[in-house]
Amino acid sequence: MSDKECCGPGYASPKAAIAASREKLLYTTALYVGTGVEKPDYLATIDVDPESPTYSQVIHRLEVPGIGDELHHIGWNACSSCHKDASKERRYLIVPGVRTTNLHIVDCATDPRAPRLHKVIDGAEIKAKTDLSAPHTVHCLGADIIISMLGDAKGEAPGGFLHIDENFEIVGRWENDISPMKFNYDFWYQPRHNMMVSSEWGAPNTFMPGFDLEDVKQGKYGDQIHFWDFAEKSIVKTVQLGEEGMIPLEVRFHHDPDSTHGYVGATLSSNIFHWHKNGGGDWEVNKVIDVPSVKIDGWPIPVPGLITDILVSMDDRFLYFSNWLQGDVRQYDISVPSEPRLVGQVFLGGLPGAPGRVSEVNGRPVAGGPQMIQLSLDGRRLYVTDSLFSTWDNQFYPDMKEKGGCMIQVDCDIETGGLKINPDFFVDFSKEPNGPARCHEMRYPGGDCTSDIWL
């Protein structure tokens, strides 16, 4: 099958996407929630072109209309799953407010350097029509869009999935059956296998006020992943990961649409689990990476790495993830998917007292730890931000409230493996127009390693 036959006009294969990568801009959510600044959150445009005079700077800020949204995860209206449809365009970025449930539809195509607000879907309308709240992951369906929702209208679990059409009108709930789900979080689908995988965090009413270890003991956080029949919109298998798989968050399939291999990061347990379809046609899940907890003075228990984000490179060769509390980003060779091999590691912050922790990068203070990550399509540039969630930031990294967040570039050796901090790139959010801000998820205008799904 050729690239054109596989992915349609304008949407090349993963291999072609790597060859054509020319990323010069990067969008990130930036927020004042939790800083004491009563100003709207915004979408920041970052210049990532080394040849540009504004390289490593915020060149535009698009404020959302309200206050207190907590802009979090974002996603495109179209990706490579828009199979054989030349009319589809990666034009609009869906920017949810996880606290308000507002969906901000942002036009990034008219002027990519200065996105503009196209439409807002009011969170109150979403709650009234679907009994869902707290939007998280956004994926396109080739035309329409589904968004994982972490709670019901009152902020209780298990949530579900919101379905909106290509004109950004509410269709309703996407799923037909969520009976085995206790909580909801991230998801990824693999069309050729009619399969979707979803993970679990906790109810908005549990995680929004901050983290409490007693909530874990009381079963208020997830430890399951779910395999779905994508066409039937129902769960066909639930795997309980147990104590070694507490709070499974980010899920990633291989980009190769023929592959059944994928990974999930269990945040609190700080383990990576690998799944694939075995010879009998069943989905098999096994732990393949274990990040040991470390002793830090002043902490009553050993501190986990806290794996908060993972991604797979576009060529499916490397797995990357961040340890938010221990302060490192890791690179694993996954040429053999079930046998990851550590080939790169770099420290970018972390809790005071953590082994390897650094308090400065490129001469600038880092208030948090590596959290969200995004990789260029050619696999050579990994971008890292340091804010997790406002209340959790203030709890674990209280200095971030005053010092703000940052974005850092890590250069990746894609031949033999290896990570190195880029000395020329540092985006400082401590001196934003309205005061210190935080930054979270990132997206490229031309698609990226954590949003494109291939047919």
Most trustworthy range by pLDDT among 6-20, 43-57, 85-99: 43-57
Domains and CATH numbers, the chain: 3-443 (2.130.10.10)
Q: What is the pLDDT of residues 115-134, one digit of tens each?
A: 999 999 999 999 999 999 99
Cβ proximity of 248 and 199 under 8 Å: yes
Q: What residues contact residue 187 under an 8 Å CB cut-off, 6+ apart?
A: 137, 139, 148, 161, 196, 197, 198, 199, 251
Cα end-to-end distance, the chain, whole Å: 11
Residue-by-residue DSSP string for 235-294: EEEEEE-GGGG-SEEEEEE-SSTT---EEEEETTTTEEEEEEE-TTS-EEEEEEEE---B
* Token couple for 194: 């009619």
Query: Taking Cα atoms as reference points, which of 112, 115, 84 lies closest to residue 22?
Result: 112
Question: CA–CA separation, 263 vs 338, rounded Å?
Answer: 10
* Token couple for 386: 């340091």
Helices (H), 12-70: 14-19
Q: What is the pLDDT of residues 298-329, one digit of tens each?
A: 998 999 999 999 999 999 999 999 999 999 99
Cα 250 to Cα 125, 136, 161, 347: the distances in Å are: 28, 11, 16, 21
Q: What is the pLDDT of residues 192-228, one digit of tens each?
A: 999 999 999 999 999 999 999 999 999 999 999 999 9
Question: CA–CA separation, 352 vs 348, rounded Å?
Answer: 12
